[in-house]
Structure formats: C-alpha cells, structure tokens
Chain A
Amino acid sequence: MKKKLFNIHKLIGVNMILFFFLSLFFGILTIFQPYVTLWEDSKKHITHTNIEDINIEQCLKQVSKRKYFNENGKLLRNDIIGIDFPLVEFRSNNLIRISNRANFYLDPQSCEKIKPKPFSISLLFNRIHTGAIFDSTVVKIIFGFMSVAIVFLSLSGIILIIKNRYKNIARNPKAYYAKYHRLLLLYTLPLVFMFGLTGALFNLGVYSSPLITHNLTGGKTLNVLKVDRNILKDPFLEAPEQSKKVKNLPFKELYNKAKDELKNTKFYKVQLYNYQDINAKVKFIGYEPHNYFISSTINESYIILDANNGIVLDKKTADEGTFTEKTFDTIFYLHYIKTFQDIPRVIFGIIAITMLIGLIYAMALWLSRTKEDKFSYKVLKPLSLSIILGSLVSASMMFASNWMIDKDYNSFVLLNNLYFTQEVLFYLVYIFMFIYIFITKEPYKIIKNSFYISSLLLLVAILSHNFMSGFSLFRTYKEEMYEIFFTDILLFVLSIIFFYFAKKLPKKYISFR
C-alpha cells in the first residue's frame, strides 16, 4: 500500500507541479505588489500622505467638472462618488482612485488627475498568478484542479510521512532533495493546505456550483451568482434624487468624527451620497488592524454619517459581523494578505520562498530518480527547466526593461492590435529560454548561466531606475519614499545572492542530464 500511495503522490505531483510553480512564483511577486507598483511608475513616486492631510473638496472638483456615462449610455450622477484612499498595503496604490469612474486617479497632494503607466508589471504578475493571463476557461479550470491536487498532495504527504518514518539523512543529492522537499513542505503545510482550499474556490467555485445550486434552490437557477447575495459584493446604498442644495460639513470634520466613533479602524474607502445636498450621507469603510483574522476584506467595519450635522445613522464593527462573514475572512485572510503591514508581509514572503524551494527540490528529485530513456522524462526535463528558469529570467527582465524603454515605445500597434512592449518582451524571453535549453542540454551550465543573466538584469534594473527616473537612492531616502528605496536595496541584494549562487553552485547536485 505504501508503494501505491507513493506512486499516486508522484503521479499527481508531477502532472501539477509546473502549474503550481507558476502560481507560487508569481504569487510571491504578488505579495510584494505594493512595493513593485510604487517602484515601477514615476507618477507614484510621491511622499506618503496622511488621509487627514488630503484636501478632498479640492479633489472632488476634478470629478464634478467631467461628465461620465455608464454602459447603458446614462449620465452618471456627480454627487454619488466612491473614493479609495491611498493606503499602500491595502490598495497597492498611493494615489486616490475614484472607484465608480473608469481609470480615474488623482494625486493626493496636488489633486490633479494623472494617468498611471498603462502597462503595470505587478498586474502582469498577478494575472499569471491566477491563471487569468491565458484568458481561457480551460486553463482556469486546470488551475482550479491544481489547487485541488495540492489539497490531495498535502493529505497523501502526511500519510506517507506517518507510515514510512523517514530518517532524514542526506548522504547523496537524491537523499538531500528528498529530505528537504519533505521537511520544508511539512513545516509550511498549513499554509500550503490553505492555499489549496481557497485557490480551488477562486478558480473552480463558479464552475463546480451549478448542480448544488440547482439542488439547494429547488430548481430555480443554475447560476450561483444569480442567488441573492449578502456577502462577497460591494453594493452602493440607495440614494434619493437631488432636492435642495446646501453646504455640507467639511470632509475633515466628518473623517475625524468617524475616527472618533470607530477608534481601532483604518479606513480605506469612503462613499459619498447626494454630496452637497440636504440628504447627504457619507459611508466610511475600513478594517481593524489589531483584530487579526476576522477583520480583513470581507468582514468590513463601516460607519454611515449624515453629512449635514454628523449624526451617526448606522455603524458596524468587525466583531458584529455575521458568522459566515467572520469565517470567510478567516479563510481569505492569509490568501489575500491585504491587511498586512510591511514586516509581516516580508516574513510571509520568506515562508512562501521556503515553499518554492521545497517545490523545486521535488522537481529535482523526480528528475534525478526517473530513468532517462522514459518519454515523460524527455518531455518534462526541458519543460520544467524552461518554466523554472524562464520565470526567473523573464521576471528579472521585466524589472530591467521597466525604466529602459522610452515612454513613447511603451506600446505598439501591429495588425490592428495593441501590444505592450514589456509584455511581448516577457514572452520572448520565455521562448528564448526554451530554445536555449533545447539546444544546450546541459542542466548545470544552463542553471549557472540563467542565474548570471538574471543577476545582471536586476543590476540593470537598479541602475536604470537610479539614472533614468531622476529618483536616485539618496533622493528617495531623503524624500521619505522608503518603499521605493527598500525595493532598490532588495533588488540589489537579490542580484548579489543570484551571482553568488551561480558562482558557488556545486556540480554534484545537478546530476541529471
């Protein structure tokens, strides 16, 4: 039986490991999305602003002087406005965003409308992480199956460890890979398991729900999204028609009032209804930083104020959420990690990197154990090498090309389609890596060279950022843009680590040819 369990673990693992690798590698880059997104765009090189210091009235003039239409061609009301505050860790953005207008960003200091960079590499990483980049239902379902496979692999891995009582001695490379694949993934198992469960919900949820929806609703509908929802949606309140114009309380006063009412809450969003009207209302939405697990993205705490006299109309704290809201927040808390501060985020990133190493060791273990004349070995060796190293090199290429490409050449039109230069470059590097691996056929040399290349590319990224953007290390430090400063430092450290790794890589660990 042990042999069968091992075989099924191997079979499912080998089939799904490369998808899991893609998801995990770009997931780690998505953990650092707030910093990458500030680093990549010169429009976001601004000093941190407190919400209290923003002149919202000034900013709202930018909204009211433009006319916007929705999809049905109806004029949008200019007195119903949703504003996302510049909260870097929650929104991955330090600009004010008007949430019910398309692509509407404001500088929090000068309140001018600005256009961020059209192609964002942090968004590209996020899209690869979820599998959305392939833009097909089939791949989405495969990513969902991958998540289910992770749950299965975690369970079967635990049973394997319990039944076999491994000794954890690493005498040769094979035993070394086996030992660390086992240990690293065993210690991070709760997180891996949680990623599996929630990832399956994100990608398979809608596709696997029709039968149960049909059964539970008594045959009314097959689509779970048509069932009345009270969670997982972001509704605007009902707003009556404009009646009489009056002057509301200043925004700062309302904000302070809301802060006084909900002391432990950090607000990330505000919605204004019937602004500058006699029925004006304001809804502040936030999360509670000290209420771990149950206060994150779904179980929001909010307060609704009358904008004319500041009377509290309605309020809810995280503790008053319903049972399901709390459960969902607990489940999603560690997948979204939106409410994490800088240091927990970095620790989480390091744990995820441990998982990634365990995963690479699993692949190396499979490669060094399988017979070389097998068909699956011949297919999977170049494929796995090109996906693992291709992700590394092309992700570094994204950082390197970000500041090298001139603004006018950011995108180009070919055969009536708009292409972004950086995205095309990303795929080109991938294809180039595949061809290189196919021709060279010597894993040791390939791994060494690709680490040298990506070390060089990261160095280029830092230098180009320092010289092309006009924001050198000293200037970012002096003007208190610590996120950007530390991103530069981190890229430099990574570059040195990659160089050192490529130089010292022992040959005996890459025994497969």
Chain B
Amino acid sequence: MNKTVENFFYKDKNGDLGFIRLIFGILGSLILAYLTIMYIGQFLIFSMFENIVIAIILLPLFWSIYSLWIILSITKFYAVSKTIVSFVILYILVFGLK
C-alpha cells in the first residue's frame, strides 16, 4: 500500500511512461480538447457550418498540446489532477452550472 502511494505521488525517476499517463495523456486529452473546441465554437461568428469546421480543424492541435502537457507532468498525481480539474472547469464553461 505504502509503495503504491509513493509511486503515485512522488517523482518518477525512470523514463517509463506507464499506464496512467498513457490513458490520461491520450484519451483524457481528447476529451479536454473536444470540450475546448466546443467552447471556442460558441464564440465564432460565421455561419453554423463554418463554425463547426473551423473548430474541428483545431481539434488535432489542442489534442496534441493537452496530451503533451499531461504526459510531461512530474508525478502521476499531477497527470490525473490536471485532467480532472481542467475537465471540470471546461465542463462548467461549456454547459454551465445547471
């Protein structure tokens, strides 16, 4: 138990990526990027179709940036918390507090 906690909270010394980082870095960042483009899409002022296509063009860029940001966090705890906290913020921004 102690070892798991240590593993989770303290800095990784080796270069291995690990399951948590990969899952949160690839799938978590996809969700974050998608919420971001939804948020951006609400502010665009062109016709509906143009708004959607411009937002979709930005998806790969945000996906990559978020996944780099998450994978390069110092501990696994940071990787998870970055994903969850930004998810909550973006969710509130996009859908509001209903």
Contacts and interface: CB of A to CB of B under 8 A. Distances in A.
B71 A216 contact: no
Contact of B94 (A5, A152, A196, A215): A215
A213 B52 CA distance: 7
A155 B15 contact: no
Contacts of A205: 53, 56
A72 interface: no
Contacts, number: 110
B19 interface: no
A148 interface: yes
A331 interface: yes
Interface residues of B, number: 36
A201 B52 contact: no
Contact of A151 (B14, B52, B61): B61
Interface in A148-190: 148, 151-152, 155-156, 159
Nearest to A323: B46
B17 A4 contact: yes
Interface of A is mostly: helix
Nearest to B74: A1
Interface stretch (A102-110, A111-119, A226-234, A260-268): A226-234
Nearest to A213: B52
A155 B68 contact: yes
Contacts of B57: 197-198, 200-201, 331
Interface in A1-24: 1, 3-8, 11
Contacts of A197: 57, 60-61
A230 B47 contact: yes
Contacts of B64: 148, 151-152, 155-156
Nearest to B64: A152
Interface string A323-340: 110011001000000000
Interface in B5-60: 12, 14-17, 21, 25, 34, 37-38, 41-42, 46-57, 59-60
A324 B56 contact: no
Interface residues of A, number: 43
A266 B2 CA distance: 73
A208 interface: yes
A176 B46 CA distance: 49
Contacts of A229: 49
B67 interface: yes
Interface string A205-244: 1001101110111000000100111111000000000000
B93 interface: no
Interface string A288-323: 000000000000000000000000000000000011
Interface of B: 12, 14-17, 21, 25, 34, 37-38, 41-42, 46-57, 59-61, 63-65, 67-68, 71-72, 74, 94
27 contacts: A1-B72, A3-B14, A4-B15, A4-B72, A5-B68, A7-B15, A7-B16, A148-B63, A151-B61, A152-B67, A156-B64, A201-B56, A201-B57, A208-B56, A208-B59, A212-B34, A212-B38, A212-B41, A215-B41, A216-B51, A224-B52, A227-B49, A230-B47, A230-B50, A231-B53, A323-B46, A327-B54
